[in-house]
Structure 1
Amino acid sequence: MDNKRRDFLKTVVGAAIFSPISGNGSTAKSDFGLADDPLPTWPLPDLKKIFPDPIKIQTVALLKAQNRLFLVVTAQDGTRGITVCNDRMPNLTSLLKGLVLPHFVGKDARDLPALVDNAYRLNSNYKYAGMPLWNCIGSVEIATWDLLGQLAKKPTYTLLGKPVRSDYPVYISDFWRGGEPTEVVVERLAQKLAATGATGVKIKVGGRMVNTADDDKRTRLFVPMVRKKLGDAATIYADANGSFSPEQGIATGKLLEDYGVVIFEEPCNFENEEGIRQVNQALKKVKLAGGEQDTSLYRFERLARTGVYDLLQPDLYYNGGILRALQVAEIARMHGKDIAPHTPKADPLIGPFWQFAALAPNLYGLQEFVDNPSEQEPTWYTPAIRVQQGKVEIPKTPGLGIRYDETLWKSAERIV
């Protein structure tokens, strides 16, 4: 391959991730992308002005404690940035160790956008592109943002822009797809709304990537029961997890519309863009949402531009971190769409979402919360993640907003 072609390919691939930071601290626009409509980028302050001295990443370690995995980025002065890893990481440790960590260890944390770019682009890592690679990169990116926030003694969102909100309203998510009597599940939802002050719920419809006759019968019984129990004022979202064919999705969507459901998530297999678009075109009231499986910024742009979804739902970890999620928000905004990231956690995994929620101007509606009132108050981190009067407050504490008990690291097992 000649040098000119190699340089061109580097430009093409790099533009798909981040536009470079210009010398004056503004985000330089890439001229690669759609012919007349390049992907927008999230404006990023010059981290080298915020932090005049280099911040060497001394180590990046995957540790196990509390039966969970933690990604810990440690600077040369001993300051740590930390994120809990999601439940995909145990199966991805070879990618993390072999492909991702070499692009961060020993580098300057102030170059974080370029480090993310390199972890995707260099050594042909892009050939592994998809959730497994981006989940590894995103976990390191998120922990590094926590490190930078700790060093600045400010919430991470203050390093990324001007906050537009200090809290957000939530819905209570339930994962029931059979096994308990329908009446029990509906009563549980009502009790959780009463306990939290939340005004909405998300229910499951279909069978999760399949829709048997029993699944369909359960859906058609469940939806009207939820509306009757919770009343007309309650907001209801529904998630199909790709259960339906386009024809089934249209039929189920019309049922949802009859009962005032606001969001219909992933009606068809997430790869079936044309099928989902058909469902969206056939429905007039409900909004279609999706994107938690997706990791391509160009695919997100296409999903918004071609009417596949009304709401984009990237997962902050699967999609490669906080900055890429903010870029998806800008892509959605470019096409007059909104964003509601995939965030079903009520534990430290919610930390990066707090930073995103503080900043994204087009954050839509109620945000996901999995409430389990029977769980004991955590002792290994603060604050406890709680809903009060239907809202979650975004912490003003440094980094991602989570503080960990220091004794965790004394007994932690190093995995990578």
Structure 2
Amino acid sequence: MNRLEFLKTASAAALLVSGAPPTDAQAGTTAPNDALPTWPLPDLKKAITSPVKIRSVELMKTQNRLLLMVTAEDGTRGITQCNDRMPNLTSLLKGLVLPHFVGQDARDLPQLVDNAYRLNSNYKYAGMPLWNCIGSVEIATWDLLGRLAQKPVYALLGKPVRQEYPVYISDWYRGGEPAEGVVDRLLEKMAATGANGVKIKLGGRMVNTPEDDARTRMYVPLVRKKLGDKAIIYADGNGSFTPKEGIETGKFLENYGVAIFEEPCNFEDEEGMRQVNQALTKIKLAGGEQDSSLYRFERMARTSVYDLYQPDLYYNGGILRALQVAEIVRKYGKLIAPHTPKADPLIAPFWQFAALAPNLYGLQEFVYNPSEKPASWFTPNMRVQNGNMPIPATPGLGIEYDEGIWKQAEKIV
């Protein structure tokens, strides 16, 4: 995603924001000749008139977590928590990514992201590991720019279309405890948050043994019975099923009013996913959290692999690329709901995305544990009221960190 591509397609992207997307039939099934749709390029130099030279980018460990800090020459900092993949990716971060940001003007962020992908043959490492590193730096840099502009990040990227979003409660049960107790736990969390939806796990995660299948056949009816007919149920297969099993399981889910079936088959099996999607008529097929190629998202949307696309904001390279995926799939009448199973500072970039994306669909994931005390090292507390998560209107990503956490922080990179 380079500056030339942005400039060539900014006007087309602006039309996309205001107009209804074409149907699949209108879009056709052949690859388009024009550039990929983009989110309109923000004019950061108008929002922030003075250069913002990046003095340093550091990966710090504190609170038993990794946090990435981008510091400007004037000492202003932008921060993001890093996800669980980062501990294994530090050599890529240090050797390939940071040199393209340190010493540069943060207002050139879209071009810096492109440079980190394209220059020095970095593209040969393309995939989740590289884009996760780039995305973490991009997200922290947006926090820096928002703080300097005294605006939430979403205000630098466009006009917000929502100030809150509805959530569902997720659970990772795949056996090992009585299912009745698991559903009671879901009910308790729903009551505490006001949420009216849940996401449950099916299969065995990239495998489906007879025991896994029996548990699925027992668990889904139990969840529906105890939660009631009005509850919204999403189900995640985590690639457990063959296409044939995915179709059978999907029809089983349709009988119990399940609304979304996420990643039934191996995420690399586009044709298998498409077969499942074509066979199901009452349920939306979802996927994309493992993907980081904009061209693959375009192909999958054009050929109806999924109805609902779920890029991870870190895995996929940051906030701006996630917004571009939203525009790509919207061109084909598809919906988006990024992968973000978080209840800590990792949720902050999703807040910015959710404020802007016109085709955001349904309930969004929220991890809630009523026994956990609110964290003391950052604010705000992640609270859901009446089933909705408010989007902070504070500068940057919306997270404030206790300055005391840096006193004993360990520098990793």
1:233 equivalent in alignment to 2:230: yes
> The residue matched to 1:202 in structure 2 has which SS?
strand
Q: Counterpart of 2:336?
A: 339
8 Å Cα contact 1:19/1:28 also seen in 2: no
2:323 to 309, 322, 326: 326
Q: Counterpart of 1:10?
A: none
C-alpha distance in 2 between matches for 1:51 and 1:165: 25
Shift, 1:204, TM fit = 0.2
1:214 to 211, 215, 219: 211
Alignment map for 1:87-102 (pairs within 5 Å): 87-102=84-99
Q: Counterpart of 1:19?
A: 5
Query: Deviation string for 1:371-402 (max 9, x for gaps)?
Result: 11111111100000011110000001110000
1:287 equivalent in alignment to 2:284: yes
> The residue matched to 2:165 in structure 1 has which SS?
strand
Q: Counterpart of 1:66?
A: 63
Query: Deviation string for 1:228-279 (max 9, x for gaps)?
Result: 0000000000000000000000010011000000000000000000001000
TM-score (normalised: structure 2): 0.94
1:121 equivalent in alignment to 2:139: no
Query: Deviation string for 1:9-43 (max 9, x for gaps)?
Result: xxxxx55x982448xxx93779xx94445310101
C-alpha distance in 2 between matches for 1:207 and 1:314: 22
TM-score (normalised: structure 1): 0.93
> The residue matched to 1:27 in structure 2 has which SS?
helix
8 Å Cα contact 1:81/1:145 also seen in 2: yes
The code of the aligned residue for 1:412 comes to A
1:276 to 273, 278, 282: 273
Q: Counterpart of 1:311?
A: 308
Q: Counterpart of 1:245?
A: 242
8 Å Cα contact 1:18/1:113 also seen in 2: no
Q: Counterpart of 1:200?
A: 197
1:261 equivalent in alignment to 2:258: yes
The code of the aligned residue for 2:35 comes to P
C-alpha distance in 2 between matches for 1:167 and 1:29: 28
8 Å Cα contact 2:5/2:35 also seen in 1: no
8 Å Cα contact 2:6/2:38 also seen in 1: no
Q: 1:104 to 1:411 in 2, by over 3 A?
A: same
The code of the aligned residue for 1:323 comes to L
Q: 1:35 to 1:284 in 2, by over 3 A?
A: closer
> The residue matched to 1:58 in structure 2 has which SS?
strand
Q: Counterpart of 1:392?
A: 389
1:171 equivalent in alignment to 2:168: yes
Query: Deviation string for 1:168-206 (max 9, x for gaps)?
Result: 000000011010111111111111111110000000001
Q: 1:399 to 1:117 in 2, by over 3 A?
A: same
> The residue matched to 2:5 in structure 1 has which SS?
coil
| Structure 2 residues without counterparts, runs of 5 or longer | 14-29
C-alpha distance in 2 between matches for 1:51 and 1:206: 50
C-alpha distance in 1 between matches for 2:155 and 2:32: 34
Shift, 1:307, TM fit = 1.1
C-alpha distance in 2 between matches for 1:370 and 1:18: 40
1:143 equivalent in alignment to 2:143: no
* Matched pairs, number: 397
C-alpha distance in 1 between matches for 2:125 and 2:345: 28
- Between the aligned residues of both structures, percent identity stands at 76
> The residue matched to 1:352 in structure 2 has which SS?
helix
Moved over 6 A (4+): none
C-alpha distance in 2 between matches for 1:374 and 1:108: 44
C-alpha distance in 2 between matches for 1:368 and 1:281: 26
Q: Which of 1 and 2 has higher RCO (CA within 8 Å, sep 6+)?
A: 2
8 Å Cα contact 2:61/2:410 also seen in 1: yes
